[in-house]
Structure 1
Amino acid sequence: MNYKLLGRSGLKVSELCLGTMGFGTEAGWGADKDTSFAIMDAYANAGGNFLDTANVYKLGTSEKIIGEYMGNHDRDYFVLATKYTLKDNTTNPNASGNNRKNMMRSVEESLKRLKTDFIDVLYLHIWDSITPVDEVLRAMDDLIKQGKVNYAAISDTPAWVVAKGNTLAELIGWSQFIALQVEYSLLARTAERELIPMAKHFGMTVTPWAPLAGGALTGKYLRGDHGRIKPESKRLNERSRNITQTVVDIAAELGVSEGHVALNWMRRQEFSCIPIVGATKVDQLLDNLKTVDVTLSQDQLKRLNDVSAIELGFPGDFFNEEGVRTNSFGGFYDRVEKRV
């Protein structure tokens, strides 16, 4: 794999991130320790160095497995990202949320499970609508100054909150969020309304979760393999079926797997993007890694863009209206230029 800079930093990460939410067998599914080790070995052998986990994944088992793996491998080779926010114990009222107390406690617990002295990238996992964003950034900056965290990042948070936070951080001199983790795929493009334009403005890298829409874009639901998905899921509606069928058709044209098409579409978007690909089996990971060798034609990209297009709403669609752009704005600028 090639390497990309993560946001407006000098941190070099591989072009595909390995999601480790499935490391552990709690809840009756996932990869055991040996399989998880084999997945990380295969990823590293392919040049991958960017691991994504969280304090709550598999009740902490994901971090524990990674920590044990790091004990026998070069810790400095890997860029390790974890998250805080969601409740990982019931000892006190502040065992969840974005507040400073929970952040400090959660990071200390993650460091123990990961058996490391530092976390490369710390994500706020999900916005709690309670904690002031300046409290979050000040606390993250303190952790960075202490050497326990290298970079700050944020996940599943409204665009206006992230924008306010990065603006405050730039003004005050705190470390800014360099990455934004959100749901994004051919079936879920609503992040294009506010979140992705905001990320582009601040030079943040987008690290999409569920880039294959929980496996829907592999075509398995079209084949009747519904697994644990609920019948009312949006991933089973007519729009999703049409999008997935287009992915299946293009995969057949290229002689590649459906996942390669869906991931390659994402990697060809006009913003910094590093998809998070999860795996509970080695062959799943190896197949996903092959996407770096796949190239979609302009016609194929257009077909995917057209079938999955969403309404941007106001003001996105308003800006794109031809009459607005040519008559209102164009006329205004023409008058300004004449006066100047």
Structure 2
Amino acid sequence: MEYTKLGNTGMDVSRICLGAMSFGDPEKWIHKWVLNEEKSRPIIKRALELGINFFDTANIYSLGKSEEILGRALKDYANRDEIVVATKVHGQMFEGPNGGGLSRKAILSQIDQSLKRLQMDYVDLYIIHRWDYNTPIEETVEALHDIVKSGKARYIGASSMYAWQFQKAQNIAKQNGWTEFISMQNHLNLIYREEEREMIPYSLSEGVSLTPYSPLASGRLTRDLSVQTKRTETDSIARSKYDETADKDRLIIERVAQLAEHYQVSRVHIALAWLLQKEGVAAPIVGATKLEHIETAAAAVDFRLTPEDIIFLEEPYIPHGIVGFS
């Protein structure tokens, strides 16, 4: 496994991050394909054996169950000082007032609840999951700063927003001497590259690392579009992101398959290698529901594409509508 620094920090993270949205309770969560604890633990353990030290979850994943599963497994299998754990805040955790969002009240409450579920004294990276249009960003950034100063988080990051929003948040942190953001968890893969227009250039200028989510486009880059899985049949969020542009994206998916056949590797190798060779990308966040998923992702770190391969993969891309911010 290769490691890199996350943002302008001295913290080392593996080039693959294991995303924990795949772990939870399929009976109580919108995603019916997630794994229960019994099936999740071997994947987390295998990730550690492969040298992966970076794990990402969120309070909203299975309404806290993901954090519980990940926390128990890491407590049993890992050295806390070696691993990097990220969780996120914003989602609606309960009905009624103050159940979600990025108010000071919500953030200070949710960090304590996340730490309790994770069975940890701190998280390494605390991420705002979305932009909160109903809370002044000054209130949000100051609350995040206070969490860092209290020792409950080491660093802060952001996810899924417009570049102007991220710039505004970062500027407010700088102007007030508050903790600055070190990472951007954005939607980026071979069939969705709209982040290249503004978010990536801005992040590079700030020394902010990218930790892209959906690096395999919810599996669409790993198989022919005609192949159906439980996730493709039940994941309405993924369908809302990719179904509308399926015909446009088909040529890119076919080119991924061609290169995979040429190099005698999996399509995962091709899709992840493209991301790993992209400037600013520290670690794609890879979900896994089988051991082979995380094993293949870890193996992809050692694979390299040529400049000609990258041109071949990127050439068919056409502009897409913005998705993933809501």
TM-score normalised to the size of structure 2? 0.90
Is the contact between residue 16 and residue 276 of structure 1 (CA under 8 Å) also seen in structure 2? yes
Instruction: Answer yes or no: is 1:63 the counterpart of 2:67.
Output: yes
User: Contact 1:35–1:282 at 8 Å: present in 2 too?
Assistant: no
Distance in 2 (alpha carbons) for counterparts of 1:41 and 1:310 = 39
Q: Which residue among 159, 163, 175 is the counterpart of 2:167?
A: 163
Equivalent residue, structure 1, for 2:128: 124
Q: Shift in Å at residue 170 of structure 1? A: 1.9
Q: 1:93-145: CA deviations, max 9, x gaps?
A: 11111111100111111011001111110000111212222211111110111
The residue type paired with residue 234 of structure 2 is R
Summarize the alignment of residues 182-221 of structure 1 with structure 2, pairs less than 5 Å apart: 182-221=186-225
CA distance 1:178–1:33, shift in 2 (3 Å): same
1:137-163 residue CA offsets vs partner (Å, 9 max, x unmatched): 111110111101110111112211211
C-alpha deviation, 1:309, in angstroms: 5.0
Query: Is the aligned partner of 1:282 residue 2:272?
Result: no
Residue 93 of structure 1 corresponds to 97
Aligned-partner residue type, residue 262 of structure 2: E
Deviations along 1:159-182, one digit per CA (max 9) or x if unpaired, are 112112212222321110100011
- Does the C-alpha gap of structure 1 residues 233 and 60 become closer, same or farther in structure 2, counting only changes over 3 Å? closer
In the alignment, which residue of structure 1 is the partner of 2:324?
Answer: none
Cα offset for 1:34?
Answer: 2.7
Letter aligned with residue 219 of structure 2: G
The whole-number CA distance in structure 2 between the counterparts of 1:6 and 1:38 is: 27
In the alignment, structure 1 residue 16 sits paired with structure 2 residue 16: yes
In the alignment, is residue 74 of structure 1 matched against residue 79 of structure 2? yes
Amino acid at match of 1:291: A
C-alpha contact 1:63 1:113 (8 A) present in aligned 2: yes
Amino acid at match of 1:25: D
Match for residue 39 of structure 2 among 35, 40, 52: 35
- Say whether the 8 Å CA contact 2:26–2:35 is kept in structure 1: no
As a proportion of its length, which structure holds more helix? Answer: 1
The aligned counterpart of 1:302 is 311
- From 196, 214, 234, give the equivalent of 1:228: 234
Q: Is the Cα contact below 8 Å between 1:141 and 1:175 reproduced in 2?
A: yes
8 Å contact from structure 1 (residues 151, 177) kept in 2: yes
Letter in 1 for 2:191: L
Verify the 8 A CA contact 2:6 2:282 in the aligned structure 1: no
Match for 2:292: what amino acid?
A: D
Counterpart secondary structure, 1:216: coil
- The alpha-carbon deviation at position 301 of structure 1 amounts to 0.9
For 2:213 and 2:308, the matched residues in 1 are separated by 26
Percentage of matched positions with identical amino acids = 35
Q: 1:8: how far off?
A: 1.1
C-alpha contact (below 8 Å) 1:133/1:161 kept by paired residues: no
Any idea what SS the aligned residue of 1:77 has? coil
Match of 1:112 in 2: 116
CA gap 1:229/1:131 in 2 versus in 1, 3 angstroms: closer
Unaligned runs of 5+ in 1: 313-340
- Give distance in 1, aligned partners of 2:235 and 2:261: 25
Structure 1 counterpart of 2:88 = 83
Instruction: Provide Cα deviations, 1:267-324, integer angstroms capped at 9, x if missing partner.
Output: 1112233100000111111111111121112211110111225489xxxxxxxxxxxx
The letter of the residue matching 2:160 is D
Cα drift, residue 232 of structure 1: 7.8
- Structure 1 equivalent of residue 53 of structure 2: 49
Whole-angstrom CA distance in 2 between matches of 1:86 and 1:95: 8
**Relative contact order higher in (CA < 8 Å, ≥ 6 apart):** 2
Using the alignment, how far apart are the partners of 2:278 and 2:42 within structure 1?
31
Q: Which residue of 1 aligns with 2:143?
A: 139
Aligned pairs, how many? 311
CA distance in 1, matches of 2:226, 2:176: 52
Report the Cα distance in structure 2 between the residues aligned to 1:302 and 1:70, rounded to whole angstroms.
40
Name the amino acid aligned to 2:65. T
1:249 and 2:258 are equivalent in the alignment: yes
Alignment RMSD (CA, Å): 1.9
Based on CA coordinates, which of the two structures has the bigger radius of gyration?
1
Amino acid at match of 2:4: K
